[in-house]
């Protein structure tokens, strides 16, 4: 017997967090972030809106959840690194290792950035998330050098690493045509 939604009885065919996320990303690509609704994601995944909200509190969280995991892991990697090396060597090595791990662990990692770059609605949130990422670097540098995270050395290091890590994002979209 089928329900009015066209599905048979029993467990929905797509109900894992990862499967729902894949459907959401597909819809974001096909329809754009702004035009994709939670209801569309739920319908495409064969689950209820409640199931989607069980994993994420909002549509935005679908995009940013893995980035938050990435940022937390970067902090952990910096703390656990061999502290015998120079500060910037540790930062560089752990940033690169963390990005590689994010790409390997999450097939949709790079796809998120394409969606973020094409979604003006997410640009303000992108800036806030990248500031948190840079703050992880600043906190690590501050701890290594015995200064406060808000001081010039940690803040400028965090911002410089962020700029090096995401050079195309460091340029305002309207100026990208002039950025080498």
- CA–CA distance from 84 to each of 22, 81, 87, 88, 122 (Å)? 41, 9, 9, 12, 39
All structural domains of the chain, each given as residue ranges with its CATH number in brackets, are: 17-55 (1.10.10.60), 63-168 (1.10.357.10)
Whether the predicted pLDDT of 113 surpasses 90: no
| pLDDT tens-digit map of 63-104 | 998 889 999 999 999 999 999 999 999 999 999 999 999 887
What is the CB-side half-sphere exposure of residue 70 using CA atoms within 13 A? 26
Minimum mean pLDDT range among 18-22, 122-126, 145-149, 150-154: 122-126
This prediction's pTM: 0.76
pLDDT tier at 52 (50, 70, 90 boundaries)? very high
């Amino acid at each position: 017997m089928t329900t009015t939604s066209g599905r048979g009885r029993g467990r929905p065919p797509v109900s894992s967090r990862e499967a729902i996320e894949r459907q959401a990303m597909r819809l974001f690509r096909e329809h754009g972030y702004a035009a994709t609704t939670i209801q569309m994601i739920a319908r495409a995944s064969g689950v209820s809106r409640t199931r989607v909200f069980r994993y994420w509190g909002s549509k935005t969280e679908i995009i940013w959840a893995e980035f938050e995991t990435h940022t937390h892991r970067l902090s952990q990697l910096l703390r656990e690194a061999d502290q015998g090396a120079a500060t910037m060597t540790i930062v560089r090595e752990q940033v690169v290792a963390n990005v590689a791990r994010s790409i390997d662990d999450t097939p949709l990692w790079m796809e998120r950035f394409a969606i973020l770059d094409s979604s003006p609605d997410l640009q303000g949130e992108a800036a806030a998330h990248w500031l948190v990422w840079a703050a992880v670097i600043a906190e690590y540098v501050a701890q290594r050098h015995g200064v406060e995270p808000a001081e010039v050395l940690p803040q400028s290091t965090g911002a410089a690493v962020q700029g090096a890590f995401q050079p195309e994002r460091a340029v305002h979209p309207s100026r990208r045509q002039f950025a080498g």
